[in-house]
Amino acid sequence: MSALKAFFLSRLLREKLLLVMIVALAALMLLSNFSGRAARSWRGYRATTVALAEQQQWLANRAVIEAGAGRAVTNLDPARTLDDTRLVGELNALARAQGLRFTSDTPRTVRSGQFAVHTVQFNLLKMDWEGLKRFYLELTKRSPYIGIEQCSLQAERANPAVLNASLRVSSVEIVH
């Protein structure tokens, strides 16, 4: 250490200032790198803590959630719940009954315990407002077995009185 001190003291003032600036810049870079890693580590710690607290809350309320699901199942008639094929068929029948043109995508299914939720993208093409309203009212009569998750309307450019609707429709099925 004394050799470094002797080396430093034997330098000219401008060389001393340059060496001090280089050491200070290196220390600043190390401190900046350390503070960035410390901040990332702290954010990870906080995110994990929040996620664990949320999971603990779900686990603590497990009995209430299961009781609520049990009550919901008793209110549903398993014969009226729809599988993915029946969901698409029901939507097609509703659209045809209203005289609407439509397209639909392949349904997706998510299974969870005793339930299966089927979702399909359903597009109604070139219709008037009254036709869309009648379709919607007929669809709401089938609630809670069929529901609209998302709806977007777009007017035709050539004729603003004509609408295109894109609906994401889901149904619940009780799986035995």
Is 86 within the bounds of a domain? yes
pLDDT greater at residue 115 or residue 51? 51
| Residues 88 and 165 grouped into a single domain | yes
pLDDT for position 114? 76
Q: Would you state the pLDDT for residue 176?
A: 67
Please compute the mean of the pLDDT values over residues 133-150 and round it to a whole number.
89
- Answer whether residue 113 shows pLDDT above 80: no
Give residue-wise pLDDT tens across range 83-97: 888 888 989 998 898
What's the pLDDT score for residue 167?
A: 92
* Helix, strand or coil, per DSSP, at residue 175: coil
Give the domain CATH number at 127: 3.30.70.60
Same domain, 8 and 46: yes
Is the per-residue pLDDT at 107 higher than 80?
yes
Check if the beta carbon of residue 172 is closer than 8 Å to that of residue 69: no
Q: Are residues 119 and 87 in the same domain?
A: yes
DSSP symbols for 65-123: HHHHHHHHHHHS-TTT---HHHHHHHHHHHHHHTT-EEEE---EEEEETTEEEEEEEEE
Least Cα distance to 93 among 106, 81, 105, 102 occurs for: 102
> Of the ranges 27-31, 70-74, 124-128, 145-149, which one carries the lowest mean pLDDT score?
70-74
**Residue 126: pLDDT over 80:** yes
- Specify whether 98 is located in the same domain as 168: yes
Dist. CA 63–CA 117, nearest whole Å: 22
The number of angstroms, rounded, from the C-alpha of 110 to the middle of its chain's C-alpha atoms is 14
Mean of pLDDT over the chain: 88
- For residue range 9-61, list pLDDT tens digits in order: 888 889 889 989 999 999 999 999 999 999 999 999 999 999 999 999 999 99
Q: Is 4's pLDDT higher than 80?
A: yes
- The parent domain of residue 129 ranges over 78-174
Tell me the C-alpha distance between 157 and 161, whole Å.
9
The label of the residue with tokens 């470094």 reads 4
Residue 31 lies in a domain: yes
Does residue 90 share a domain with residue 36? no
CA atoms of 23 and 176, how far apart (whole Å): 72
Asked if 104 and 121 count as a contact pair (C-beta separation under 8 A), the reply is yes
Name the residue with tokens 């809350």.
57
Q: What would you report as the CA-atom Rg of the chain, rounded to the nearest whole angstrom?
A: 32
Please give the pLDDT value at position 121. 92
